[in-house]
Structure 1
Amino acid sequence: MADRGNLTKADKEMIIVATSATNRCQYCIVAHGALHRIYSKNPYLADQLAANWETANLDDRQRAILDVAMDICDCEPITDDQIEELKNHGLDIEDLWDIGSVTSLFALSNRMAYTMNLKPNTQFYLMGRVPREKK
């Protein structure tokens, strides 16, 4: 996932956590929830996304991104209104492609994690929740 475009690393991890929750992939929810907490500096949002993205404490830009990502996750068509809403928040058609790419890649990843019965490393549960030990 290139660092071009208008999606931040936290935005991409937000998409991964929300769509992985819909796909019920514990490994990706926990691992990418940890990354989201680190990138966003928000210790709460990943858990809210994992429980129910629609009731999570999202700003309008985040909600527009997830509205599109979740429709892609559910194989629903993207509307012109959704594209316009992304544009209203400074996102463009390339960002829409990135939202679709992240969502699609992790649909595959979720299923592969199921296939291999992957379990999250215990360290992921605390990452971004407690201060790191100084070396």
Structure 2
Amino acid sequence: MPQPDHVSALGAPAANSLDEDIQEVFRKCVDKLGFVPNVLAAYSLRPNKLRNFMAMYNELMLAPSGLSKLEREMIAVVVSSANHCYYCLVAHGQAVRALSGDPQLGEMMVMNYRVAQLDPRQRAMLDFAWKLTKTPEQVTEDDRQALREVGLSVEDIFDLADTVAFYNMSNRMAIGTDMIPNAEYHGMNRPEPFMPPAKA
């Protein structure tokens, strides 16, 4: 059964009606991915907000950090799992598959990250991301100390909290406007046929 085929419940302007800088971003997306992610198309309804969204995303997800790109994507998926955000689970679940080369890890992050055999650092980060999303008023110094004990610096903890906060905002925008992920994401980075690794 196909998913709904709209970009968002609020629609999106025609790409050729947008400012040249945004059209250039869209062209780069098509060159790299083969499509324009629907989140960008949806945000183009408010072009300055799209520019700010892209700048924040690029700083959080692509700039140097003690958190790896894969770890940042895992955080995005765990936050989105807590919030049941369909758009972000599909889009960032695909990013986890792509960066890890492991389709099973992507599925575990989407469904229940606690199933995954993660190292203590990753487990602590994702536990913090879940708690900050589900019960933020319960986060205390003990939670930050747990992150220090697995090797996170103060800058890493800042980046972790910043990433969690961004995806909580992003999830609520996606849910509030009924953004639908590009259908292409579903089939990306899934080996065909997929066979689970042999047991040692």
TM-score range, shorter chain: 0.7 to 0.9
Partner of 1:62: 122
Find the partner of 2:190 among 121, 129, 133. Answer: 129
Shift of 1:81: 4.0
> What is the TM-score when the length of structure 2 is the normalising length?
0.60
Higher mean alpha-carbon deviation, 117-126 vs 21-30, is at 117-126
Partner of 1:52: 112
Aligned residue-pair number: 131
Partner of 1:20: 80
Whole-angstrom CA distance in 1 between matches of 2:183 and 2:141: 42
Aligned residue runs from structure 1 range 93-132, under 5 A: 93-130=154-191
Which is greater in Rg?
A: 2
Whole-angstrom CA distance in 2 between matches of 1:116 and 1:72: 23
Q: Unpaired segments of 5 or more residues in structure 1?
A: none
Structure 1 residues 88 and 128, CA gap change in structure 2 (3 angstroms): farther
Misfit runs of 4+, over 4 Å:
none
Conservation of the 8 A alpha-carbon contact between 1:34 and 1:127: yes
Find the partner of 1:7 among 67, 88, 91. Answer: 67
**Partner letter of residue 7 of structure 1?**
L
Higher mean alpha-carbon deviation, 72-81 vs 110-119, is at 72-81
Tell me, what secondary structure is at the counterpart of 2:66? Answer: coil
Q: Unpaired segments of 5 or more residues in structure 2?
A: 1-59, 193-200
Shift of 1:72: 0.9
Q: Per-residue displacement from partner, 1:74-126 (whole Å, max 9, x unpaired)?
A: 21433444333323333111111111111111111111111221111121112
Let me know the Cα RMSD of the aligned residues.
1.8
Structure 1 residues 76 and 53, CA gap change in structure 2 (3 angstroms): farther
